[in-house]
């Protein structure tokens, strides 16, 4: 389950920010896991819940947005929305598509407290 290592990376990123920016705890964390990122959102949420007790993320509300995948169809020369990397272009049915978005896992923002 690679989501556990992803959760550990997210926690490290937040703890590094806490040390650098001098905040004690996070009340809200907002993430984005695109449809093409390869992240199983339920497993990531489970992993975060498992590793956050005793950290600055303990008790934080964690929101995970899941934007759709975006791709460029080489045949149509247009931007399309896709759910998976194996999808065909909905306009022409071709498979000559290049993903352009929805491939990332990123921290969007934190609401922090210095107490």
- Give a yes or no: residue 51 inside a domain: yes
* Count: domains in the chain: 1
- Give a yes or no: residue 79 inside a domain: no
Spatial separation of the C-alpha atoms in residues 9 and 33, rounded to whole Å = 14
- Give a yes or no: residue 96 inside a domain: no
Q: Provide the whole-model pTM.
A: 0.87
pLDDT tens readout for residues 52-69: 999 999 999 999 999 999
DSSP the chain: -HHHHHHHHHHHHHHHHHHHHT--EEEEEEEEE-TTS---HHHHHHHHHHH-TTSTTTT-EEEEE-PPEEEEETTTTEEEEESSTTPPPTTT----EEEEES--EEEEEEEEE--
- Give a yes or no: residue 80 inside a domain: no
Q: Where residue 7 sits, what CATH number does that domain have?
A: 3.30.2320.50
How high is the mean pLDDT of the chain? 95
Q: Which domain holds residue 62?
A: 2-67+102-113
- Give a yes or no: residue 58 inside a domain: yes
């Amino acid at each position: 389950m690679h989501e556990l290592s992803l959760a550990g990376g997210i926690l490290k990123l937040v703890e590094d920010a806490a040390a650098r920016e001098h905040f004690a705890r996070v009340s809200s964390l907002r993430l984005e896991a695109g449809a093409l990122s390869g992240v199983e959102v339920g497993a990531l949420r489970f992993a975060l819940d498992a590793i956050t007790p005793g950290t600055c993320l303990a008790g934080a509300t964690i929101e995970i947005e899941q934007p759709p995948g975006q791709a460029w169809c080489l045949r149509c020369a247009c931007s399309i929305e896709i759910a998976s990397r194996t999808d065909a272009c909905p306009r022409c049915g071709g498979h000559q598509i290049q993903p352009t978005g929805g491939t990332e896992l990123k921290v969007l923002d934190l609401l922090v407290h210095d107490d």
